[in-house]
Structure 1
Amino acid sequence: MLKITPYLELDEEAKQLVDHANNVTVTLTVSESAVLHLLLLSSSSVCTKEDLLAAGWPDRVVAATSLTQCVSTLRKKLEPYPEVMLRTIAGRGYQLNVSTRSHIKMLAVNDAESVRAAIVDVSLLVKFSGIVIALMIGLSVWYFSDYHGVVQDTASWNADKSIELNIGGVKQDVQLLYKDNVAHLHPSMWQKHLAPEVNHLTHLNKFNGFALTDGNYYSMAVCPDADDKSCSGKGLINITAIDPTPAGLNMKNFAALTKKMEQRIRYNRVIIPHNEPGTSGFVEHHYHADVYYPVQGNMLVRSDISLSLIYEGEDSGKFYSAACITDEECATTPIKYKIKGKFKQYAEQINGLDVDVFHVRVGQKELIKPDKVSSSAMHFYREIRKHEIVEEDLYFYRVYKDTDTAVWIVPILGNLVAWYEYDKVKL
């Protein structure tokens, strides 16, 4: 076969044009095939009428009109291929020109040479334009992808500092995580809420912890008697300050009060109904934490938070979260807020700190409005209500994990860090 374009060939033996792009053939007469063959061999040079008559009608004497008719018929058969032009050169003969447009036509042929011709044998301008278009398409796809959102949100966090916390009389440097452009990162922003004169816990010898701020809230997550690799999950301390005024938290009284609150009311032991469609025979990765919000002159407010992950693949699945807000005297009817959705998990880093980012597309929200809200809990009701109306895509960060616990950054009620107990439940 003799190639005309990367997708169009002349089969001189079968006397036909073979169109690989559209998977069709065009039948030629003996004379048409011979004339086209000579024109192709001439490679854009002018073929005289005498040479074409000799090729098309060998050992025969025919009128010049036979060639004219042959050329006219060939042109009609080549009409579907505008890049192939059969030209009349006045007073000299005929010439076949193949436009470079044929090299950028979509190919439907498994022919390495054709592919090479389509890519390599084009002008530099065409190549450059193709590269620019491909880059623009690639950048557009990336920009509007889910992963771009993950990269953007992760880049807004920093983990290049540590601060010293004094918990119960024990001082320890902890990892600090903070948002870009946060101005106040002095340890006092966390420490000032613990009244120094009553900051004593006799049972505490050491601890591991994390501190976090988004510029509005200042939170700390502490595991007593932990090291860098493990935490028992016992006596976890999660405190988030929502007001810049020092709360004057009495740590001795705080420890006793939290035990009382946690024993009295526990709303989120199980948050996934066992008859949930598609959840039979699954493994539930369940995390639970109690976060406390001290405010000067107000009752202590607790957020009972649970997270559950149901993996449907290696890095994706169903996501469930529930939060329940109460105060120390139950003056507020519990404010309950639940979300369900799909998650995609990514392994990222924040200044060298390995983190698991969970991009959650929220599919369902449920806010159970309380009958009564105390002044202490009103702030949280308003924040949850705004969250219910606005948020659709959420980013949860798991910044630490061991066999029994994990530390999460949670974007509910502002961005806060909390140390969670972990259970893996087969159902």
Structure 2
Amino acid sequence: MRTRAGSRFETEQHDDEVVRPYMEQLMNGQDYSQAETHDGQSNELRITDTEEQQNDESDTSEKKKVRGPTLLKEIWKLPPGKTIAVQFNSRNQAIKKDGRKLASFLGFVARTPELTPLHIHDWRSFDKDEKKKLVEFVRKKFSIPTRGEEFVIKSIGKKWKDYKCDLKSVYLTKFKTKDVLLKNKPNRIPRDQWTGLVSYWVSEKAKRRSQTNRNNRAKQKMPHTGGSKSIATLMDEKAENGVEPTRAQVFILTHRPRKDGRPLDEESSKTIDMINEKLSNSEGSNEQPPCSVAWEGDVYSQVLGNEKTGYVRGLGLGPTPSVLWCSRSFGNNVEEDSSNEIVKRLEQEVTKLKDINGKQNEELSLVKQNQEKLLSELAWVRKAMSRNAPNELSIHQNINEISDDQVPDANSGHERGQQSPHMLFKGQSVAENIPSSHGHTT
């Protein structure tokens, strides 16, 4: 019997193979509405969802009818330079129909080994510059605002991990040993990446991590029944007069009896009853910030517990406590900069100030060096004058207190009634007694 994960993986593989020529063209800087397959034939994406369903109906009745692969024909056939503008909500999440197209495209990116290598063990190990390149690659087909970049990176990372999970579920179940796994490499995955991925799968570190993940997964007793639609898009569709439902209300919307008649799990039923009871009693409603969907001490957290570090449950991919808790009015303006952008701008300002400070320090150091050089030369002049006219020049005079009005007048040869230094050397000028710094005398 074919597993659900295996079936989904096979569907995605077919999807990827059809679209792969277009991805390769885009990676090579090309952007055409047609692409050549690996056998040299032209691929015009003529397969449609309806045709796929008809093929399923003509097949045996035992085979489950599926929707068919999402090929995103309208995206690949976009004229060069034209992009799809994606809307983002106040929590910097992609929404609406174009948001779903973006999600499918990000899935292609995550399953393209040339863009997102598979032998890297953790998404957090990806270089930041490489992640930025992925965003720029996505911008070849989609118009992404700056505040939406973090969502794109997070979404690719999640889909990349899901893809690796599907690979492991299918191949490690079918091929039990490392040698057999290495011999049965998928065609679209480079040899070095497949070797690194398989080596990690069979390592003790990966086995411990996998067991921990299985244990944590077993603790999740309330699977949602919201389907493939993102929570962000669902909240946008359910908004009334611009006010979205709270995450407690979203929990109820995404935990309902399934369409095939299966009842809701017992844990979800109990949780919904508790949420409805608190909502009917209006507990905590007085503390709700305007237009907020989640806040500290809301009904959701009262029933399901407080948030963990760096993650907010019930709102989908993207939102973090630092974004939600630190801004009470973020929902009023979807174009408002995210906290990450503010931090980036502050870091840039700090960098500029450091550069300015560094230049000022260099200039100050140069001034000090010139000052020391000047004082050294003046001290040498003073020493020479003292050696040649000890009776006429006081040794204890401080050279730093000499001011401009004490400089001898070259025309009169006097300075406030004192005799000119040119007369002190009995007919010899100072210049004749002091060696020139240029190696000759004046």
* TM-score, normalised via structure 1 length: 0.19
* More helix per residue: 2
Bigger share in strand = 1
- Higher RCO (CA 8 Å, separation ≥ 6 residues): 2
